[in-house]
Structure 1
Amino acid sequence: MKTVFSYAKPYKWPIIIAIILMLTELSVELIQPLLIAKIIDDGILSGDVNVIWTWGSVMMGLAFVALFSGVINSYFAAHAAQSFAFDLRQALFRQVQAFSMATFLRFPTAGLITRLTSDVNMAQNVLFMALRIMMRAPLLVLGSLIMAFVVNVKLALYLLIGAPVLLVFLVIMARKGVGYFSNVQKRLDRVNRVIQENLQAVRLIKAYLRGAYEASRFSKVADYLRRDTVKAMRMMELILPVLLFIMNVSLMAVLWFGAIEIGNGDAQVGELVAIVNYAMRMTGAFSMFAFIIVALSRAKASSERMEEVLLANEDLEHHNSESSSMTRFDGDLRFENVSFHYPGKPEPILDNVSFHVAPGEKLAIMGATGSGKSTLLNLIPRIFEATEGKIYVGGVEVNEWGLKDLRDAIGLVPQQSILFTGSILENLSWGDVEAAPDELEEAAKKAQIHESIDLFPKKYGTRVGQKGVNLSGGQKQRLSIARALVRKPSILILDDSTSALDVKTEMALWESLEKEAATMLVVTQKVQTAIGADHILLLDEGKVVGYGKHADLMKQSALYRKIAESQSEEEAITDVTDHS
């Protein structure tokens, strides 16, 4: 918890003020039984009205002080807790953004969402309640006990009857609570994961009529969450009855022996009333302990989960601090005996891959699903780091480039077109926030999307729904390509980014891109697209099984011939069907 709550340090003064006000409120509450005892013994029993009025007025004044302190305390406690939560959430989000992909893949997406929402809220609530009542409860118990000894030592001893038992009991319950609520948060992760998957795949679920099955799957994980939560809460609910039972036994002992002491003349009525008053305050404070232990247990479990993210410093990307003094590169790209495997998995995704692409050339990359095409592309901007071998960009080893400089010169269009909620203009500007409107429009024209945008009522101001839900697949792909072109990249990476385009649009796109002064790497399944490249790289199970021009591969590679022939047969069948 230390790392998480270190984010509260900038707000030490609001916290200190809140604590002072809380202690003021607590002091008033501890003084009141003494004043009541004085009013009873020196006023009521002695028949002195002046004593009653004097100390009664003091009690009223102190009550207003406590009221004022409580209200102001709430203000400072809320300020500190909300500001702490804001900084903590920001730190978690920045840390996730700084993760390398290898580190990012260690954490399920749903788990990260839970950490940034539910877990942060848990820590925020605990800080607020600590400044408001959680610190106050144990201090009230300790203060009441001390004041009871000030009033009458013999009667106060009876309040200590169950203290050792209570202490051991509370420690055991607190330790168990952390384990139980840690499981609850993990169950919550699984619930969030199922919800996320369903919302992302809602169209497929409806198309396959799998709603009932998915509802059943959700019901199962939600039931696990319910059962673990009930188990944790049932255990926590044992705390209050046990605490009240022990305190009531102590209170009964105080009343029984207090009456005897008064009868013997060894104690006054006001002293017994004060001791009982302190006992009642202790009982009320103990009733808060169940809530406190639940809150602290959940906060500790949440803090440990957040610390997993905050302390994951072994493989972070530092974009700004890695800026190099080298100039923008010319697009020359070379792989030399490059291999790659994911952390913890010995099987290579890429095995001894070598090739060279000169500045301005176009390389088509082909291969079956799982052959390592996308992984190869991810090594260029260092989204993943090569396990073995060397990659040279602009004649310089890729690791020697500053990460910001390297990625600023690369335009990446991923296999799945990702758009963000906002206008089309904002999505295009995402490629280069400093690009002028005419530069954005020029990029859209090159990507063959300008005419489609022009047909929208609000043109470039048209809002794009979540993940581009209000756009067709082809429109999303062309917007993604335009976004990459806005960067004026030295290397343009297209990861199967034209699969949703019709033949005419794709031809116009390639013709437009021919004029770009950029080295292009194009993942494609279409031989017709590969023919137009300067070189073709054919991968199979992570190995290079063919490299050269179309004509060379037709002679040298049986796998490439098989792909070309199968696509020729498909085109022939399509032509016959169209003519018929």
Structure 2
Amino acid sequence: MKTVFSYAKPYKWLIVIALLLMLMELSVELIQPLLIAKIIDDGILAENVKVIWTWGSVMMALSFIAFFAGGVNSFFAAHASQSFAFDLRQALFRQVQSFTMATFLRFPTSGLITRLTSDITMVQNVLFMGLRIMLRAPLLVVGSLVMAFVVNVKLALYLLIGAPVLLIFLIVMARKGVGLFAQVQKRLDRVNRVIQENLQAVRLIKAYLRGAYEATRFSKVADLLRKNTVTAMRMMELILPVLLFIMNASLMAVLWFGAGEIQSGDAQVGELVAIVNYALRMTGAFSMFAFIIVSLSRAKASAERMEEVLLANDDLEDHQGEISGMIDLEGDLRFEDVSFYYPGKAEPILDRVSFHVSPGEKLAIMGSTGAGKSTLLNLIPRIFDPTDGEIYVSGKEVRDWPLKELRDAIGLVPQQSILFTGSIMENLSWGDTDAPVDELEEAAKKAQIHESIDLFPKKYETRVGQKGVNLSGGQKQRLSIARALVRKPSILILDDSTSALDVKTETALWDALEGERATMLVVTQKIQTAKGADHILLLDEGKVVGYGTHADLMEQSALYRKIAQSQSEEEAVIDVANHS
């Protein structure tokens, strides 16, 4: 918890003021039984009205002071806790952004979402409640016990008898609570994961009529969360009855022996009333201990989960900052005996891959699903680092380039087109925030999306729904390509990014890209697209099984000929169907 609550340090003076106000409120509460004892002994029993009015007025004044202190305390506690939560959330998000993909994959997406939402809320509430009432409860217990000894040592000893038992009991319950609520948070992660999967795949679920099945699957994980929560809460519910039983037993002892002390003249009525008041205050404070232990247990579990992210600094990327303009890097690219293993996997996804692409050339990469095409592309901008071998960009080993300079020189269009909620203009300028409007439109024209945008009522100000839900697959792919072109990259990576385009549009796209200075790497399944490349790299199970022009591979590679033949047959069937 130390790492998490270190983010409260900038607000230490707000916290100090809140604590001082809480102590002021607590002091008034501890003084009141003494004043009540004085009013009873020196006023009511002595029939002295002046004493009653005097000390009654003092009690009223102190009550107003406590009311003011409590109200202002709430303001400072809320300010400190909200600001702390804001800083912590910012730090967690920045940390996640700085992860390499290898580190990122250690944490389920649903778990990161839980940490950034409910886990932060948990520790935020604990800080607020700690400054408001949670610290006040144990201090009230200790203060009441001390004041009871000030009033009458003999009677106070009866309140002290159960203290060691209560202390040991609370420590044991707190430790059990931390483990139980850590399990609850893990179950919550699982529930969030199922929800996330279902919301992302809602169209598929509806198309396959799998709603009932998914509801059953959700019910199972939600039921596990319920059972773990019930188990944890049942354990915590034992706290209050035990505390009240011991405190009520102590209170009965005070009343029983206190009556005898009064009869023998060793104690006054006011002293017994004061001791009873302190005992009742202790009982009230102890009744909050169940809530306090539950809150602290959950907060500790949440803090430990957040610390896993905050302290995962063994494998972080360079600080990237904001995009400030693209680097005019020579687009020479060379792979030399590059191999790559995913963490925990025994078989390589890439096995001793070597090839060379000169500046301005276009390389088509082909292969079956799982051949390692996307992984190969991810090694160039250092989404992952190779396990063995070297990658050179412009004659310099890729790991020797500052990460920002390297990535500024690369335009990446991923296999799955990702768009962000906002306008089309905002999505295009995401590639380069400093690019003028005419450059954004020029990139859209090259990507063959400008005419489609012009048909929208709001044109470039048209809002894009979450993940581009209101656009077709082809429109999303072309917008993604335009966004990459805005960067004016030295290396343009297209990971099967034209699969949703018709032949005419794709041909127009490649014609428009002919004038680009960028070195292009294009993952494709289409022989027609590969023909237009300077070279073709053919992968099979992570190994290079063919490299050369279309003519070279038709002559040298049986696998390539098989792919070409199958696509020729498919085209022939389509032609017959179109003419029939």
TM-score range, shorter chain: over 0.9
Q: Residue 283 of structure 2 aligns to which amino acid in structure 1?
A: T
- 1:286 aligns with 286
Q: Residue 447 of structure 2 aligns to which amino acid in structure 1?
A: A
**Correspondence list, 1:445-484, <5 A:** 445-484=445-484
Question: What is the distance in 2 between the residues matched to 1:78 and 1:293?
Answer: 21
Q: Could you say what secondary structure the match of 2:95 adopts?
A: helix
- 8 Å CA contact 1:322–1:404 kept in 2: the answer is no
Listed one character per residue, the Cα deviations across residues 286-312 of structure 1 (whole Å, up to 9, x for unaligned) are: 001000000000000000000000000
Cα distance change of structure 1 residues 82 and 489 upon mapping to structure 2, 3 Å threshold = same
- 8 Å CA contact 1:322–1:403 kept in 2: the answer is no
- 8 Å CA contact 1:319–1:402 kept in 2: the answer is no
- 2:57 aligns with 57
**Correspondence list, 1:73-472, <5 A:** 73-320=73-320, 328-472=328-472
Q: Could you say what secondary structure the match of 1:485 adopts?
A: helix
- 1:555 aligns with 555
Q: Does 1:488 align with 2:488?
A: yes
Question: What is the distance in 1 between the residues matched to 2:216 and 2:510?
Answer: 47
- 8 Å CA contact 1:447–1:479 kept in 2: the answer is yes
Q: Residue 87 of structure 1 aligns to which amino acid in structure 2?
A: D
Question: What is the distance in 2 between the residues matched to 1:483 and 1:547?
Answer: 30
- 8 Å CA contact 1:418–1:467 kept in 2: the answer is yes
Q: Residue 410 of structure 1 aligns to which amino acid in structure 2?
A: I
Cα distance change of structure 1 residues 209 and 239 upon mapping to structure 2, 3 Å threshold = same
Question: What is the distance in 1 between the residues matched to 2:335 and 2:494?
Answer: 18
The structural deviation recorded for 1:319 is 3.0
Per the normalisation by structure 1, the TM-score is: 0.99
Question: What is the distance in 2 between the residues matched to 1:353 and 1:322?
Answer: 33
Question: What is the distance in 1 between the residues matched to 2:318 and 2:402?
Answer: 9
Q: Could you say what secondary structure the match of 1:488 adopts?
A: coil
Listed one character per residue, the Cα deviations across residues 441-492 of structure 1 (whole Å, up to 9, x for unaligned) are: 0000000000000000000000000000000000000000000000000000
Listed one character per residue, the Cα deviations across residues 348-371 of structure 1 (whole Å, up to 9, x for unaligned) are: 110000000000000000000000
- 8 Å CA contact 1:335–1:354 kept in 2: the answer is yes
Question: What is the distance in 1 between the residues matched to 2:509 and 2:494?
Answer: 12
The structural deviation recorded for 1:327 is 6.7
Question: What is the distance in 1 between the residues matched to 2:388 and 2:253?
Answer: 77
Question: What is the distance in 2 between the residues matched to 1:400 and 1:290?
Answer: 56
- 8 Å CA contact 1:449–1:475 kept in 2: the answer is yes
The structural deviation recorded for 1:328 is 3.4
Question: What is the distance in 2 between the residues matched to 1:6 and 1:58?
Answer: 41
- 2:18 aligns with 18
Question: What is the distance in 2 between the residues matched to 1:321 and 1:10?
Answer: 24
Q: Residue 493 of structure 2 aligns to which amino acid in structure 1?
A: I
Listed one character per residue, the Cα deviations across residues 527-580 of structure 1 (whole Å, up to 9, x for unaligned) are: 110000000000001000000001110111111111000001101111111111
Q: Residue 464 of structure 1 aligns to which amino acid in structure 2?
A: V
Q: Could you say what secondary structure the match of 1:197 adopts?
A: helix
Cα distance change of structure 1 residues 97 and 327 upon mapping to structure 2, 3 Å threshold = closer
Question: What is the distance in 1 between the residues matched to 2:327 and 2:96?
Answer: 29
Q: Does 1:545 align with 2:545?
A: yes
- 8 Å CA contact 1:339–1:352 kept in 2: the answer is yes
- 8 Å CA contact 2:37–2:271 kept in 1: the answer is yes
Cα distance change of structure 1 residues 117 and 415 upon mapping to structure 2, 3 Å threshold = same
- 8 Å CA contact 2:339–2:348 kept in 1: the answer is yes
Q: Could you say what secondary structure the match of 1:219 adopts?
A: helix
Question: What is the distance in 2 between the residues matched to 1:436 and 1:447?
Answer: 17
The structural deviation recorded for 1:185 is 0.1
Gaps of 5+ in 2: none
Q: Residue 437 of structure 1 aligns to which amino acid in structure 2?
A: V
Q: Residue 382 of structure 1 aligns to which amino acid in structure 2?
A: R
Question: What is the distance in 1 between the residues matched to 2:273 and 2:319?
Answer: 68
Question: What is the distance in 1 between the residues matched to 2:322 and 2:69?
Answer: 51
Runs of 4+ in 1 over 2 A off after TM superposition: 319-323
Q: Residue 102 of structure 1 aligns to which amino acid in structure 2?
A: A
- 1:31 aligns with 31
The structural deviation recorded for 1:329 is 1.8
The structural deviation recorded for 1:322 is 13
Q: Could you say what secondary structure the match of 1:156 adopts?
A: helix
- 8 Å CA contact 2:262–2:268 kept in 1: the answer is yes
Question: What is the distance in 1 between the residues matched to 2:193 and 2:330?
Answer: 43
- 8 Å CA contact 1:155–1:257 kept in 2: the answer is yes
- Pairwise CA RMSD: 1.1
Question: What is the distance in 2 between the residues matched to 1:321 and 1:3?
Answer: 24
Question: What is the distance in 1 between the residues matched to 2:409 and 2:327?
Answer: 10
Q: Residue 80 of structure 1 aligns to which amino acid in structure 2?
A: A
